[in-house]
């Protein structure tokens, strides 16, 4: 049996295992690159499903390159006799997302692309969105997460299925897919941005992975095995966590038994808090996750004092239960929201009787409230009882201690807080 046919068979089996039924309308996220060209060419060979394709135009590259890819996608879909739509993004949408959330170009573009595809899926009445991520994308993602301190949750890599999205090529290498395209004389485009060393993923792809392959031949198979093992480990841990510390949710409030908390293993406590934090996070930042250090701090604080506040979340306990909830406006006397797009080096913001100074360049060795890329938008709250307005200033990472305030005026009418922004 030809190699091309075995690839089609593997593809069909993936769809069957992911619950794609005969008669399903499946929207292909098409870019014109090799992976998505293989994806749409394979999908049309699956009996019983209805295929359509769409390409999101980001407007990030030259008009000539964008038009060439649009033409390639349109011609490919005409040859396959399926519907094709070009989906342009609104002008400055990606730049506005970057400025509002302080995220990178890749992250903003990915979020915008998925949002546009989901809207089109709804318009087309499609059940699924197929994306062309390959095993190489999986390896790159695992390496990037490993280098940023991810646990087993991150080492699972890209999910095969998430909601309406399915990635049927996640176990196929780029080489296998491109060899298959060559056998079929299917053209594809090489994205010029993939050669740019400006993006971290490209450096992982073009510099780190070749280095690893030279030192550890065959490491790719071992890494993908690690991803499968991490997925199984996470399944066990999540099951044990839910059984050991069941969180009862009512609207935007979660409760779990205090007695069970004190008998639980430390990592199970951390997993419970991880779930609680990410469920209550109201920042609306794409792909945002509360830092693991905050989870550790919260766990230690709940063990010792039974309460913790940070990242817009408050946890406290009574005799029987711990209760976690998103902080409501009445929990603080006032708050201010600083968006990344509004901040330049040495930004000065007056708030209550505080003067807040935000710096991107290194600050003097003083008591500093550090802000990471994931903390935008920066929300600061003034707290304090009647007659003591502004007695405490806090952010998502917790309260800014009193020692972080320095007298600015002789009459003590104002205090200054330094905020150091650390960007990766």
Q: Residue 279 corresponds to which tokens in the numbers above?
A: 């469920």
pLDDT digits (tens, 9 = 90+) for 140-183: 999 998 887 888 888 999 999 999 999 999 999 999 999 999 99
Helix 3-17 to helix 174-184 angle, to the nearest 10 degrees?
Answer: 120
Residue 413 has a pLDDT of 36
Residue 351 has a pLDDT of 54
Q: Would you say the C-alpha torsion 7, 13, 14, 20 has a positive or negative sign?
A: positive
CA–CA separation, 26 and 50 (whole Å) = 6
In this prediction, residues 35-56 reach a mean pLDDT of 96
Beta strand 165-166 with 161-162 is: antiparallel
CA–CA separation, 356 and 405 (whole Å) = 10
Q: Residue 374 corresponds to which tokens in the numbers above?
A: 């994931």
Q: For residue 417, what pLDDT band results from cuts at 50, 70 and 90?
A: low
Q: Residue 369 corresponds to which tokens in the numbers above?
A: 């409230």
Residue 373 has a pLDDT of 62
39 near 77, Cβ under 8 Å?
no
Determine the Cα angle at 109 with ends 107 and 110, to 5°.
65
Q: Would you say the C-alpha torsion 175, 181, 185, 186 has a positive or negative sign?
A: negative
Identify the residue with better confidence: 342 or 68.
Answer: 68
Identify the residue with better confidence: 328 or 377.
Answer: 377
379 near 397, Cβ under 8 Å?
no
First to last CA, the chain: 49
Q: Residue 264 corresponds to which tokens in the numbers above?
A: 């639980």
298 near 315, Cβ under 8 Å?
yes
Q: Residue 16 corresponds to which tokens in the numbers above?
A: 């069957």
Query: Closest Cα to residue 276, out of 263, 302, 303, 295?
Result: 295
Phi first, then psi, for residue 338 (nearest 5°) are -105, 120
Question: What distance lies between CA 40 and its chain's CA centroid?
Answer: 26
Query: Closest Cα to residue 379, out of 344, 315, 332?
Result: 332
The helix or strand, by DSSP H or E, that contains position 336, with its residue range, turns out to be strand 334-338
Burial class (CB in 10 A: 0-12, 13-18, 19+), 302: buried
pLDDT digits (tens, 9 = 90+) for 198-214: 778 889 999 999 999 99
141-155, 228-242, 391-405: segment of lowest average pLDDT: 391-405
Q: Residue 172 corresponds to which tokens in the numbers above?
A: 């196929």
Q: Residue 46 corresponds to which tokens in the numbers above?
A: 């699956």
In this prediction, residues 101-113 reach a mean pLDDT of 77
CA–CA separation, 393 and 382 (whole Å) = 5
308 near 296, Cβ under 8 Å?
no
């Amino acid at each position: 049996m030809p190699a091309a046919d075995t690839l089609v068979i593997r593809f069909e089996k993936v769809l069957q295992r992911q619950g794609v039924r005969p008669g399903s309308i499946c929207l292909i996220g098409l870019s014109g690159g090799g992976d998505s060209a293989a994806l749409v060419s394979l999908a049309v060979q699956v009996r019983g499903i209805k295929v359509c394709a769409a390409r999101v135009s980001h407007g990030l590259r030259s008009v000539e390159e964008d038009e060439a890819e649009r033409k390639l996608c349109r011609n490919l879909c005409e040859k396959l006799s399926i519907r094709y739509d070009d989906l342009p993004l609104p002008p400055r949408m990606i730049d506005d997302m970057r400025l509002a959330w302080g995220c990178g170009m890749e992250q903003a573009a990915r979020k915008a692309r998925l949002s546009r595809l989901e809207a089109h899926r709804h318009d087309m009445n499609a059940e699924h969105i197929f994306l062309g991520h390959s095993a190489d994308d999986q390896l790159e993602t695992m390496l990037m997460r490993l280098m940023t301190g991810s646990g087993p949750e991150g080492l699972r890599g890209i999910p095969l299925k998430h909601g309406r999205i399915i990635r049927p090529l996640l176990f196929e290498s780029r080489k296998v897919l491109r060899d298959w395209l060559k056998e079929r004389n299917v053209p594809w485009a090489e994205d010029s941005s993939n050669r740019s060393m400006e993006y971290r993923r490209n450096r992982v792809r073009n510099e780190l992975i070749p280095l690893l392959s030279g030192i550890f031949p065959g490491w790719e198979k071992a890494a993908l095995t690690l991803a499968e093992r991490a997925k199984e480990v996470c399944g066990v841990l999540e099951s044990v966590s839910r059984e050991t510390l069941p969180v009862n949710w009512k609207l935007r409030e979660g409760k779990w038994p205090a007695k069970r908390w004190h008998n639980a293993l430390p990592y199970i406590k951390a997993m419970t808090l991880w779930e609680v934090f990410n469920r209550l996070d109201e920042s609306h930042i794409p792909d945002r996750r509360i830092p693991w250090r905050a989870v550790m701090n919260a766990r230690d604080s709940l063990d010792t004092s039974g309460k913790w506040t940070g990242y817009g979340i408050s946890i406290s306990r009574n005799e029987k239960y711990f209760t976690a909830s998103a902080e409501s406006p009445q929990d603080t006397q006032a708050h201010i929201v600083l968006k990344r797009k509004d901040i330049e080096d040495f930004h000065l913001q007056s708030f209550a009787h505080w003067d807040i100074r935000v710096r991107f360049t290194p600050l003097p060795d003083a008591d500093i409230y550090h802000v990471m890329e994931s903390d935008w938008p920066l929300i600061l709250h003034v707290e304090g009882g009647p007659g003591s307005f502004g007695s405490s200033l806090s952010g998502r990472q917790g309260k800014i201690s009193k020692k972080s305030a320095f007298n600015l005026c002789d009459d003590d009418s104002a205090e200054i807080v330094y905020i150091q922004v650390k960007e990766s």
